[in-house]
Amino acid sequence: MGRIAVIGAINADITVRVSTLPTPGETVTSLSPRTSMAVGGKGANQAVAAARMAAEGYPSPSFAARFGADAQGRELRDAIAAEGVDVSHCASVEGMTSGQGLVFLQESGEVGSVVVGGANSAWPDDVDENSQFYEGLVEGAAVVMLQREIPEHVNEHVAQAAKKAGAIVIQDVGGEDRPFSRSLLQNVDYLCPNESELARLSGGASTATDQDVLAAARALQERGANAVVVTLGERGSVLVPRPGSEQESAPIFQLPVAVPGGVVRDVTGAGDSFRAAFAVALAERRPLEECLKLASAAGAVAVSRLGAVPSLPTRAEAEALLDEKLSPTPPAPSCSEREISNAGRREKSEPSFPLLFGSRLNSMRSRRDLVDDSVSNDVLGWVARQGEVRGLDLVDFNYPQHLRGLATEDVLGALARAGLRAGAVCMRFPEEHFRQGAFSNPSEVVRTAAVQLTAEGCEWAKRLGTDEVVVWPQFDGYDYHLQANYTEAEARMVNAYRAASDACVGVKLSLEFKPTDEAARFSFVPSTGAALLLAERVGRDNFGLTLDFGHLLAAGENPAQSLAMVAGAGKLFGLQIGDGHSRLGAEDGLAFGSVHGAAALELVFWLRTTGYEGHVYFDTFPRNEDPVREAEHNIRRFKALWDRAVKLERNSEVRGALLEYDAMTTLEVLETNA
């Protein structure tokens, strides 16, 4: 079983979200005030993709690259190694910065990018082609993957060494636009362009039809190329065998695999994912038809997610999509991305829906008359009961109330038996210690205790396999006028939340603000605007906000507008939803959309518009209803609203009405399509 060797570039990818790419002389404003940084570069992407696609028992892929002798270089090396990639062939280059990629991500999911080569261009140019240097890079490899973001002489020497060693060579066309030498083409077994690259390489030939694509590929073969594998986006892919082979007259067309969730969100990592999966299947000596199928599935999963490395699927995900069992969800946490990722996935959800669902664990205490006596009335028993909820994915635990005193393995075992995973840990501050506040408490000792308790919650989150911790400081507020010093309270909160964020490295820590509560009639954070200002002053990338539909109603806000504000600031970490008759002065925790139907629809619409990737948590209190049926109803209701939101997105009248603030047009569309 030979390994896969990837030789190529690695970059620190900085992504900017824009509505459209600027034309010459034009300036556009980003959709988000924040950028994100992640591992990038076609070589790094393909190495990580190969590691994630590798079947059990196969050796880890190796990666040969050049880093800058800088902090970014160290971060990039650590990130790629953490994915299980052998980095022993990588080296740092003194006096050079690491490569960078500036990625412009449009709302349509299309991307444009500018690559600054940095250390990627600093490969040795005085190494003779017969040197053991290149032979060492491909030693023991079954498949060698090349791209065009490093000097061409490196590719030529590596390809020659690989052919000498009997390895299969795959050449990605993406990267620098330069002609291929005939000697390189002859040493490449599979040349892999996308549709636009094929047109460019074949002198501007049309690729409008399948026959056009075949003609363009054969034109490359006339210039020395062997087999050509073309990715065609929504049209699928095709492998054109090398001239003179047994399959010369039989191109292999692969229809596209359906994208999970039906929405193309970002094509950044699709080609790299496709080619890595193709390489893995070749290394396993699978038939070419199977190689293309696995590659197509990997590419389909990748385009359903944001980012390059964060979007790359595992082998299980690609195979589950082929088996129509994939739960299309955000990527699992990865150290390759500075913006903290989202909770994991589970195959229980139906393939057509992209978000995960959690529901209030304490609701499972209700209606014990409906539960078999064998199901215990405790945390582990409630988890078992949530396992009966069709469509539920995650369990959010309160800390310390749910978890203190339990063993990690017992909680994980209960989750596994229920077919669920941990979604988040939600902080609850015991009244006996924090009745005067947690993060705003006048006592520094108590504030420190709140930070320590939160750090414990973060450790529990890591042990349970999630990276989300939600803070609800129900006592951080006041009841009377002239009771509190507001500026001092804010300063205390800023410092305490900074300390908590710093104690929770690798975890998304989010504030769930509530404007009023019986524990504090006035919150020190009474609105979305105040919460955003606090997050800005805390100034930590892993500190953001979780919005609660009921809390926003209690604040007199429009939930969708609040969501758009927070998402636009790059601080929307979580979402908790329910409904209620706010006139009663209480958080009723009713079923989602049961009272404020239009507001619920608009919230879901803006979830889609802003590209929300966290999980959806139903914070409801079914005291008289069967909590299992109520949770299932919430899931169905949310999905129905999601489907309506998709239709509204695609309606040109609605898009125009939103820009013109035209209420009547939207109301008429809703009336017609109710």
The catalytic residue positions are 272
305: annotated binding-site residue? yes
- Distance in angstroms (rounded) separating the CA atoms of residues 86 and 109: 31
307: annotated binding-site residue? yes
Describe the crossing of helices 528-538 and 559-568 by its angle, rounded to 10 degrees.
20
Q: Token pair for residue 553? A: 């109603």
- Distance in angstroms (rounded) separating the CA atoms of residues 175 and 150: 8
The radius of gyration computed from the CA coordinates of the chain, to the nearest angstrom, equals 27
For the chain, how long is the longest CA-to-CA vector? 89
194: annotated binding-site residue? yes
- Distance in angstroms (rounded) separating the CA atoms of residues 250 and 336: 41
175: annotated binding-site residue? no
578: annotated binding-site residue? no
Q: Token pair for residue 23? A: 């034309």
203, with CB counted inside 10 A (0-12, 13-18, 19+), is exposed
13: annotated binding-site residue? yes
- List C-alpha distances in Å: 73 to 83, 99, 667: 16, 9, 54
Residue type, 345: R
Q: What is the SS3 assignment for 153? A: helix
End-to-end CA distance of the chain: 58
Strand positions, DSSP E, 82-180: 91-93, 99-106, 111-116, 141-148, 168-175
Contacts of 459 (CB under 8 A, 6+ apart): none
Contact 66, 91 (CB under 8 A): yes
275: annotated binding-site residue? no
311: annotated binding-site residue? yes
41: annotated binding-site residue? yes
155: annotated binding-site residue? no
Other beta carbons within 10 Å of 369? 6
- Distance in angstroms (rounded) separating the CA atoms of residues 66 and 99: 9
479: annotated binding-site residue? no
266: annotated binding-site residue? yes
Which helix (DSSP H) or strand (DSSP E) does residue 396 occupy? strand 394-399
387: annotated binding-site residue? no
43: annotated binding-site residue? yes
Phi first, then psi, for residue 86 (nearest 5°) are -75, 115
| Tally of residues, the chain | 674
542: annotated binding-site residue? no
Give strand pairing partners of 551: none
11: annotated binding-site residue? yes
Contact 294, 277 (CB under 8 A): yes
232: annotated binding-site residue? yes
Contact 313, 301 (CB under 8 A): yes
23: annotated binding-site residue? no
- Distance in angstroms (rounded) separating the CA atoms of residues 210 and 253: 9
Contact 146, 159 (CB under 8 A): yes
- List C-alpha distances in Å: 461 to 20, 355, 464, 571, 661: 38, 20, 5, 20, 43
Measured in whole angstroms, the distance separating CA 463 from the mean position of its chain's CA atoms is 20
45: annotated binding-site residue? yes
Best CA proximity match to 54, nearest among 315, 318, 317, 336? 315
44: annotated binding-site residue? yes
Other beta carbons within 10 Å of 443? 11
Exposure class string for 119-141: b at 16+ Cβ within 10 A, else e: bbbbbeeeeeeeeebbbebbeeb
Best CA proximity match to 479, nearest among 445, 427, 527, 516? 516
Q: Are strands 168-175 and 190-192 parallel, antiparallel or unpaired?
A: parallel
**Which residues belong to the annotated binding site?**
11-13, 41-45, 149, 194, 231-236, 266, 268, 271-272, 302, 305, 307, 311
**Which residues belong to the annotated binding site for substrate?**
11-13, 41-45, 149, 272
**Which residues belong to the annotated binding site for K(+)?**
266, 268, 302, 305, 307, 311
**Which residues belong to the annotated binding site for ATP?**
194, 231-236, 271-272
